[in-house]
Amino acid sequence: MDSRSSKFSRFLTADVGIFMLAIGFIAAMHSIAFEDRLVLILYYLATVGSAYALVRRRAIGLASVIVCVVAATMFAQLYYSAKPDTWNPVFDATRDMLGLGMLLYLAIRLLIASYKIQTEEKRRQLQNKVEEQLVAMRAEALRRTSHEVRTPLSTITAISETLLDGSTGELTEDQHEFIGDIDEAAKHLLDLVNDILDYAKAEAGMIRIAPQPVALVELVDQCVSMVSPRAQAAGVTVTAQVEPSLSEVIADPLRLRQILLNLLSNAIKYNNEGGSVIVRIRPDGSNQFRISVRDTGRGIAADHLEHLFEPYYQAAIADQGIGTGLGLAIIKHLSELHGGTISVESVVGTGTMFTVQLPREARVTQEEQTTDEPAPVAMKFEMPSLA
């Protein structure tokens, strides 16, 4: 009994209710609708209005049935009120039967096509809902896992930095080298985890931007200062040029800094010793500006360029380090969140230039948003002397 009632409740939806009311109205009113013009107008307003309401609710099949029924009543009224032909009784009857048969065939085809469209639409909506739930579940699982991994990695890097700066006592050369390797490996793993977490959030639509005034010169100087130690270690020079007219833009400072740092890090990582990296920020029309990061590295082959922004795709040479292949995919997503684009030009053996085109005034376009997780705070530990 319960299963029958549940099936009945699933069948008796608002769409079916509107449809049944419209059909009942047509059955009750069609016999008198054509006797008065006001009643006829109200009759068609009610029926066409119900069909429109069903279309708005994506019930295209039921709306098509109402339209066909209304058209049939109109045709029947016009057909029987029209003066019959007297040219050939046999031919006239055959012609009418063929015409009515074709109309009936087309009406049935219309209803079948409408039903298929409605079924496909519902299936597509269900599939999209399932995919959104799967993406959200995967993102949540990655978020939790990444958080659990980030905490011990942050602790490892904090301990290794404490040991390396000599605050716990002098280290031997071998100890310093071993702990340096531990620190480098932990930071590398932390970068990978952060990339995975950022991409999981981006894929699930959990990243939002908070536009505010950003002083580009200060932001670029901060980014260059942050990558300078890595650039010096790699023997790469980094210079920046900001057009004076672009003293300030409206963007998310955190995400804009993330875009710049990622592009600069890649330009240094995949450069040659003695090479250079040039950052240029210049206007692009009255409403946009461009950020270009050019390096003098090995370049990227043409067959890799079209896949470069795909997640987990790597065009890097094996001896240049191991990564997730998510950095450029994240940059692309962050650029699009700002309403911008990213492109790349490269010549093998000469270098590569990435160009990010952004509006001068970014605006929030996503309705659903969640607060981003704060980055782990580095800690300093007081440890007993190793001496």
Task: Assess whether 107 and 218 both reside in one domain.
Answer: no
Structure confidence at residue 176 (pLDDT): 83
Structural domain includes residue 245: yes
Structural domain includes residue 123: yes
Query: Range of 105's domain?
Result: 2-129
Helix (H) / strand (E) element for 39: namely helix 37-56
Structure confidence at residue 383 (pLDDT): 37
- In a 13 Å sphere around the CA of 247, the CA atoms on its Cβ side amount to 2
Structure confidence at residue 119 (pLDDT): 81
Structural domain includes residue 308: yes
Number of domain units in the chain:
2
Q: What percent of the chain has pLDDT over 90?
A: 22
Q: What percent of the chain has pLDDT over 70?
A: 81
Helix (H) / strand (E) element for 71: namely helix 60-81
Task: Assess whether 101 and 216 both reside in one domain.
Answer: no
Q: What is the C-alpha separation between 254 and 252, in angstroms, rounded? A: 6
pTM score, whole prediction:
0.56
**pLDDT tens string 196-217:** 777 777 776 777 888 999 999 9
Structure confidence at residue 276 (pLDDT): 94
Query: Which tokens go with 277?
Result: 């990296």
Query: Does residue 172 contact residue 343 with C-beta atoms inside 8 Å?
Result: no
Among the candidates 129, 144, 175, a domain finishes at 129
Among the listed ranges 64-73, 138-147, 227-236, 298-307, which one has the minimum average pLDDT value? 138-147
Helix (H) / strand (E) element for 293: namely strand 288-295
Among the candidates 104, 129, 154, a domain finishes at 129
Task: Assess whether 124 and 216 both reside in one domain.
Answer: no
For residue 44, pLDDT over 50 is answered with yes
Structural domain includes residue 202: no
**pLDDT tens string 94-121:** 766 776 677 677 777 777 777 787 788 8
Bridge-based pairing state of the strands 288-295 and 237-242: unpaired
Confidence of residue 246 (pLDDT cuts 50, 70, 90): confident
Phi, psi of 63 (to 5 degrees): -65, -40
Task: Assess whether 247 and 123 both reside in one domain.
Answer: no
**pLDDT tens string 259-271:** 999 999 989 988 9
For residue 252, pLDDT over 60 is answered with yes
Mean of pLDDT values over 53-57: 80
Phi, psi of 192 (to 5 degrees): -65, -45
Structure confidence at residue 100 (pLDDT): 67
Structural domain includes residue 148: no
Structural domain includes residue 190: no
For residue 169, pLDDT over 50 is answered with yes
Q: What is the C-alpha separation between 221 and 225, in angstroms, rounded? A: 6
pLDDT, mean over the chain: 78
Confidence of residue 372 (pLDDT cuts 50, 70, 90): very low
Mean of pLDDT values over 301-318: 72
Mean of pLDDT values over 352-375: 69
Instruction: CATH number of the domain at 238, please.
Output: 3.30.565.10
Structural domain includes residue 102: yes
Structural domain includes residue 252: yes
Distance from chain centroid for Cα 23: 42
Structure confidence at residue 370 (pLDDT): 41
Task: Assess whether 125 and 236 both reside in one domain.
Answer: no
Structure confidence at residue 202 (pLDDT): 75
Mean of pLDDT values over 56-82: 76
Structure confidence at residue 282 (pLDDT): 93
Task: Assess whether 223 and 338 both reside in one domain.
Answer: yes
Q: Which residue has the higher pLDDT, 17 or 213?
A: 213
